[in-house]
Chains A and B, each alone.
Chain A
Amino acid sequence: MTAISLRGARLSYGDRVLWDGLDLDVEPGEFLAVLGPNGSGKTSLMKVLLGLQPLSSGTVMVTGGNRAIGYIPQQRALEVSMTLRGRDLVGLGLDGHRWGFGLRNRRERRIRVDAAIASVGATRYADEPIGVLSGGEQQRLRVAQALVGDPTVLLCDEPLLSLDLANQRVVSELIDKRRREANTAVLFVTHELNPVLPLVDRVLYLVNGRFRIGTPDEVMNSRTLSELYRTPVEVVRVRDQILVVGAGACEEQTHHLTAEAAS
């Protein structure tokens, strides 16, 4: 049974087509990296899977529906003055959608929240105001919030943004551990493929209304990316890193080729 299934999916805003004819099956336990320049429709894909954005045509299916999804949003800056602790944020991920105060089963709830917090190593600062925590600390709590509801599908929208290398490792390994232990399907939007390259099963690469799906080797090569960007792009493997050089602009990371530079 697939975790996510898209058939002939098309999404357009007005006459701007983000993607069309998208057939995608994600299996339980699969790690799918979603790449593409700004505005290529990565976040929109997440919105479609969450049922917040209707497709222009085609069908979308997520096993277990909305409540089976753990979601880490792209824009996560929490306000410094917010009256909220990490513990509260994680708890909302568990039962924030339920009506009422939730006075029953408080003990069991506390055990689950504590366990989720401990699993991301955030116990030390779980009772601090969330606004004063560092980006990496907030992001670990976001991971705990997404995992505490025991999701079958995990949608992560640029969870590595503005994290240093050590924290990028921590966060991606936490997510990897989850999908191995609980067979959770992972959609992982990222601008930098290298930090997660060893974990990735397949890549979905979106550019300007075109896309490719395949293993990293199938997609991250000069021919495929040149076709996608419609401009000569060099892909070089250096040890276990993938470097993309395109349109005269040398990029340190996998892409950052903007749609403009490529058109």
Chain B
Amino acid sequence: MTIFDLLELDFVQSALVAAAVLALVAGVLGPLIVTRKMAFAVHGTSELAFTGGAAALLLGISVGYGSLIGSVAAALLLGLLSRRDSDRDSVIGAILAFGLGMGVLMFALYKGRAVNKLSLLVGQIIGVDSTDVWLLVVASIAVLAVLAFIYRPLFFASVDPDVAIARGVPVRALSIVFALLVGVATALSVQVVGALLVLALMITPAAAAMRVTASPVRATALSVVFAEVAAVGGILLSLQPGLPVSAMVTAVSFVIYLACRGIGAVQRRTA
């Protein structure tokens, strides 16, 4: 089959739509996550989505709900840790290790099909059907709507917390709401790229964008573009050779990141 034949297929189209929607959400959230130094927290959240999914498998409920519960709970927990807590990274590490251990235990106890297990780790985008896509679209719109409403004070609190607090911005409440949004977005991403590769959509494009511009608006726009290129481009690249989607998505995303680091270094030298 040629790539054009493949693109005719319903499940391929669903996958592309899902990837495009997710990339939009991840691209918008990314610069805030990087500014707030939450990359490791996002990683922890995604792995705990895996634990939630594993628990769901074992209990025989929907894996989607399981991972959603897992990552939202984790995100809330980690969101409550202040950025200034010096032990934040070690707390995340401790929770993460325990969560993964539990996930492994539940896998061992699960007697179902092994493919269900693998998809939790590396994604199952080629398996998303159109109802999943609808759920994804609705959830993404909800996340983006909330984000649009809180964006300015959240950005203020992220870059300049002292003055933001002084101006009456509810910094702590915003940090919890943001953690919730990240939790939902992570759970959605886990469905597509899998727990292990969420960082490729949420962190890498934003980190790349922030190397090449100091304007927050431009950084967000670039981050969305990079995430779209990585997600949609990664799927297209994986179709014909039949390679794993997540491998291609992370590869594209990383190449963009390297390029931006290079451009950023040149900009700084010539500035």
Q: Which residues of A contact B (CB under 8 A)?
A: 50, 52, 66-67, 69, 71, 73, 75, 78, 81-85, 88-89, 92-93, 95-102, 127-130, 145, 149, 155
Contacts and interface: CB of A to CB of B under 8 A. Distances in A.
Interface stretch (B18-26, B213-221, B245-253): B213-221
Given A83-B213, A84-B214, A97 B162 contact: no
A69 B156 CA distance: 17
24 contacts: A52-B165, A66-B167, A67-B167, A75-B162, A83-B31, A83-B35, A83-B214, A83-B216, A84-B159, A84-B214, A88-B215, A88-B216, A92-B152, A92-B164, A96-B155, A96-B160, A97-B167, A98-B152, A99-B149, A99-B153, A100-B149, A100-B152, A101-B152, A145-B163
Contacts of A129: 214
Interface centre among A66, A85, A88, A95 (most CB of B within 10 A): A88
A92 B156 CA distance: 6
Contacts of A127: 214
A93 B152 CA distance: 11
Contacts of A92: 152, 155-156, 159-160, 163-164
A73 B214 contact: no
Contact of B166 (A50, A85, A99): A50
B169 interface: yes
Contacts of A78: 159-160
A73 B164 CA distance: 10
A84 B216 contact: yes
Given A84-B159, A88-B159, 18 more contacts: A52-B165, A66-B167, A82-B159, A83-B210, A83-B216, A85-B214, A85-B215, A88-B215, A92-B155, A93-B163, A95-B152, A96-B160, A96-B164, A97-B164, A98-B153, A100-B148, A100-B149, A100-B151
Interface of B: 31, 34-35, 148-153, 155-156, 159-160, 162-169, 210, 213-216, 219
B148 A101 contact: yes
Given A50-B166, A52-B165, A71-B163, A128 B153 contact: no
B160 A89 contact: yes
A128 B166 CA distance: 25
A186 to B, nearest CB: 16
Closest A-B pairs by Cβ, 7 of them:
A96-B156, A129-B214, A73-B162, A71-B166, A97-B167, A83-B210, A92-B156
Contact of B168 (A97, A100, A101, A145): A97
A78 B214 CA distance: 13
Nearest to A98: B152
Nearest to A142: B163
Given A52-B165, A66-B167, A82-B35, A96 B152 contact: yes
Contacts of A69: 166
Contacts of B160: 78, 89, 92, 96
Interface centre among A82, A92, A129 (most CB of B within 10 A): A92
Contact of A73 (B151, B163, B168): B163
A96 B151 CA distance: 9
A83 B219 contact: yes
Contact of B169 (A85, A96, A102, A149): A96
A16 to B, nearest CB: 22
Given A84-B214, A84-B216, A85-B214, A67 B152 contact: no
Contacts of A155: 166
A94 to B, nearest CB: 10
Nearest to B164: A96
Contacts of A83: 31, 34-35, 210, 213-216, 219
Nearest to B161: A73
A99 B164 CA distance: 13
A89 B161 CA distance: 12
A96 B153 contact: yes
B260 to A, nearest CB: 12
Contacts of A96: 152-153, 155-156, 160, 163-164, 167, 169
A149 B168 CA distance: 13
